[in-house]
Structure 1
Amino acid sequence: MYRLRGRDRRPGRREGPVPAGRPAAPVTVSGARVVTVGYFSAKEKDHLALMDAADTALTARGARIVGRIVQRRGVSAGGVGKTALPYSSRTLLSSGKVRELAEVCEATGADLVVFVAALTEHQQRVLAEVLGRPAVRLSAVLTAV
């Protein structure tokens, strides 16, 4: 009979333990030029209303909206089966949309990129590195009053 080994066969981590969640730096949007980014499935019919609500909430906090990018998932026949998955686990968006976002940020001189969708800390770090400016989720901005 086959017996499971008590030890995993994968090699152990070479680097030290992952530090516990670091507290995020407070994000101020007052006076900032902001690009809003939405990531929605094709099932979400009123995605423009959600983007408008996000823009309204940000402008109420003193932000100036200078751009808007929307990534729709599952619009084409090939993407319908994968609507629950992000395009990229590193950036949430497709590589082409990230390039488009970087171009919009450069053209408008944006100070901050706010995602309507939830982002992991890793995605925030990668996007901030690629875009050259902080990338945060909307909920973090709205709760940091």
Structure 2
Amino acid sequence: MHRQHGRGRRPARRARGAGGPADVPPFDVTGSDVVLVGYFSARQRDFAALMDAAAAELAARGARVVARAVQRRGVSHGGARETSLPFSSRTLLSGGKAREVAEARERTDADAVVFLNALTGHQRHVLTGLFRCPVVSLAETPPPV
């Protein structure tokens, strides 16, 4: 019989070589305008204090926080059983929140987007393309010299 090519088969995974998401150099926030983003579960009551502390840490590193965005999970639809899961494994955020961050970055002409949360290499890669600027986790930004 005739075999149909490409149907029902997964595409081959690309090998991670030079230039892949894992090879992104650390971004130095010194002197940069940044958008600060935090992803929090509904169980996290002190998220505003955590955002303030992160903004203070970025200021100590020489960055200026020009906008903030908070994504909360489990506050409305989805309920308690999904509070520990990201809205999207690709972006960590919901689609609307990702658009909101992209608009804030463009409106303020920020140099980078800094997440409080740890990001995977793939998330960093996808978000960098979406926001059209470097995207880093606060833990990944190098300390001031």
TM range (shorter): 0.7 to 0.9
Q: How many percent of aligned residue pairs carry the same amino acid? A: 52
Structure 1: 5+ residue stretches without partners: 1-9
Distance 1:123 1:139 in 2: 15
Mapped pair 1:14 → 2:12? yes
Larger Rg: 1
Moved over 6 A (4+): 10-13
Q: Does the C-alpha gap of structure 1 residues 113 and 11 become closer, same or farther in structure 2, counting only changes over 3 Å?
A: same
Mapped pair 1:57 → 2:57? yes
What amino acid sits opposite 1:84 in the alignment?
Answer: S
Q: Does the C-alpha gap of structure 1 residues 64 and 75 become closer, same or farther in structure 2, counting only changes over 3 Å?
A: same
CA contact (8 A) 2:90 2:122 kept: yes
CA contact (8 A) 2:27 2:142 kept: no
**C-alpha displacement of 1:79:** 2.9
What amino acid sits opposite 2:41 in the alignment?
Answer: S
Q: Equivalent residue for 1:113?
A: 113
CA contact (8 A) 2:114 2:138 kept: yes
SS at match of 1:75: coil
Structure 2: 5+ residue stretches without partners: 1-7
- RMSD in angstroms over aligned alpha carbons? 2.2
Taking structure 2 as the reference length, the TM-score comes to 0.84
CA contact (8 A) 1:35 1:110 kept: yes
Taking structure 1 as the reference length, the TM-score comes to 0.84
